[in-house]
Structure 1
Amino acid sequence: MKRILTAIVLIALVIALVFFGKPWMITVCSAVVAGLAALEFRSLAAAGDSPVPLWWTLGSIALFFLATFLRPQDTIVAVAFATLVLFTWNALRSPLNRVLSETAAGLLMLVYIAYPLTLIPQIWNTVNGTALLLFLFLCVWSGDIAALYVGKNFGRSKLAPQLSPNKTWAGALASVAASVLFGMGLVLGGDWLAAHGSNFTKLHTTEPWWQFLLLAILLNVAAQFGDLLESALKRGANVKDSGTLLPGHGGILDRIDALLVAAPVLWFVLVIREFFSPGSF
């Protein structure tokens, strides 16, 4: 029950923010989530004997999001500057045999956590941004729920026992099916509302349904890889959950691990489509 109530509250907050939020609100909320997830990542890194300074963690996250909000074209400069600062700090204070691993851990934190979450406000700002972001969330959420319950009750063959012993092929296939079902439900529902003259047009998209069908499958596969990547970090650190902030769910990183890979995949699809055929998705 605790898990279900937490999920309902989080989903309601996210949907309200996507529909009624402002650009700065989306950016600030994404930055807060990134900061909390980065703090959990620090614990995993420290357990792996590669600690990342607290001041640098929070400062680099803030710098990254500020650069993305003000000058998106210069975010790589922010990453390079933050990494060089960390490199210098570690070279002056850490044992020399740990300088590389500790600096690499900090850089991974930015690439793995901060970068994907900076894409959330950027996706929201694109044409059809509200529908695309909800499509992304639905594919991730529904796939995760289906994988959990189908895998638990019907799963036999293990998907990746070394990384996550509880994940099964049955759960993985159910996850793909759920993402397609709910993702296409959103797309076709938005089209139906638009066709019947509804003023609720934020769910309407301008591209054919079959493209979203393929995208739902792609995002689901990316999300499942994201789940496995975080499992690798946790098993390496010998912990079950990344944190305890969310009742019944573990930590923030446990809840957004799938999104951290799915969001960049969606963004890359949008970029590639714009490159070859300028316009909205």
Structure 2
Amino acid sequence: MLKERVWTAVLLAPLVLAGLFLSSFDVFKLFVAAIILLAAWEWANLSALSAPAVRFAYTSLIAALMAALNYYSPDALFGRVLPVAVIFWGLAAYWVVRYPSAKGWQATWQRALIGVLVLTSSWMALVSLHHLPRGGVLLLMLLLLVWGADIGAYFAGKTWGHAKLAPNVSPGKTRAGLWGGLASCALISLCFVFYLELDLLTGVYLLLMAMIAGLASVLGDLFESMLKRHRGIKDSSRLLPGHGGILDRIDSITAAAPVFVVGLQLIAVG
């Protein structure tokens, strides 16, 4: 299992990094859209839309929405949709904390509708971030924050983890892991504050945004775990050997990206 995970990561990492940082803006949009569409196929199953024809229709709907958003003045639309996504993740936090008693997400149509918002807003956030003057640097920062939160949580949880973070949703996550992940985010953000040569106030704000994005990344992971637990499956798919599905790899980004981008809109970092 570990060998599969390592080899999959080694083979995919150069492709992903090239798609994110070595492509033109138009190619980048298509590259991210392709990843989102693979995730949409998996989200359809999480919503109990298991028939191939229905899953194809759901994925096609996501594709049509992304194409429409890209065509009709994306900057203006993105500015309206992304704050809605941030508000949604506040509601998602309530559902995770109150699972399994909280209502409002269990029905097939509710989960499907949530997927439309989560997946399209993720695409919009990454596209918006890439389009900024310092978009490449900020995109790298976002990815490092997500990865750092995960790696820091793993090692802190292994070393000090006893108290569970959300036992009903994901028994493996611990409170110590959460703090370890946030500590990693703080260190990463400080490196970028110095690299970008930000003034004190802007630097403190970016540090705060990094911590919030780190929390959001944990929430994205927990929310997908909640959906999988409700659906009775372990992984979103078996597309990536040893890693599960696309959603299992980008669940943290789906929450962290909109939160990070909306936060950046308030300061002159990009």
Alignment match, 2:57: 56
Aligned residue pairs total 239
Of 249, 261, 264, the residue aligned with 1:255 is: 249
Alignment match, 1:132: 138
For residues 66 and 232 of structure 1, the distance between their equivalents in structure 2, rounded to whole angstroms, comes to: 30
* Higher Cα Rg, which structure: 1
For residues 31 and 161 of structure 1, the distance between their equivalents in structure 2, rounded to whole angstroms, comes to: 33
- Equivalent pair of 2:47/2:109 in contact (CA under 8 Å): no
The one-letter code of the counterpart of 1:224 is V
CA RMSD, Structure 1 to Structure 2 (Å)? 2.7
Question: In structure 2, the residue corresponding to 1:53 is in which secondary structure?
Answer: helix
For residues 113 and 253 of structure 1, the distance between their equivalents in structure 2, rounded to whole angstroms, comes to: 10
- 1:110-133 Cα offsets, whole Å, 9 max, x none, are 112222122211110013211111
Of 158, 181, 186, the residue aligned with 1:152 is: 158
For residues 183 and 12 of structure 1, the distance between their equivalents in structure 2, rounded to whole angstroms, comes to: 24
For residues 225 and 150 of structure 1, the distance between their equivalents in structure 2, rounded to whole angstroms, comes to: 18
The one-letter code of the counterpart of 2:252 is A
For residues 57 and 124 of structure 1, the distance between their equivalents in structure 2, rounded to whole angstroms, comes to: 27
* Structure 1: gaps (5+ residues): 78-99, 192-203
* Structure 2: gaps (5+ residues): 82-105
Corresponding position: 1:14 with 2:45 = no
Question: In structure 2, the residue corresponding to 1:257 is in which secondary structure?
Answer: helix
How far off is 1:240 after superposition? 1.3
Corresponding position: 1:108 with 2:110 = no
Corresponding position: 1:38 with 2:40 = yes
How far off is 1:10 after superposition? 3.5
- Equivalent pair of 1:157/1:168 in contact (CA under 8 Å): yes
Q: Where in structure 1 do 4 or more consecutive aligned residues deviate above 6 Å?
A: 49-52
Alignment match, 2:177: 171
Alignment match, 2:189: 183
Alignment match, 2:30: 28
- 1:63-108 Cα offsets, whole Å, 9 max, x none, are 122123222145789xxxxxxxxxxxxxxxxxxxxxx944433321
For residues 23 and 267 of structure 1, the distance between their equivalents in structure 2, rounded to whole angstroms, comes to: 17
- Equivalent pair of 2:163/2:175 in contact (CA under 8 Å): yes
For residues 52 and 223 of structure 1, the distance between their equivalents in structure 2, rounded to whole angstroms, comes to: 32
- 1:113-172 Cα offsets, whole Å, 9 max, x none, are 222122211110013211111111000011112212331343111001001000001111
Of 119, 123, 126, the residue aligned with 1:117 is: 123
Under a length normalisation based on structure 1, what TM-score does the superposition of the two structures give?
0.76
- Equivalent pair of 1:31/1:118 in contact (CA under 8 Å): no
Alignment match, 1:215: 209
Alignment match, 1:69: 70
- CA separation of 1:280/1:174 partners in 2, compared to 1, >3 Å: closer, same or farther? closer
Structure of higher RCO (CA pairs closer than 8 Å, 6+ residues apart): 2
How far off is 1:187 after superposition? 4.2
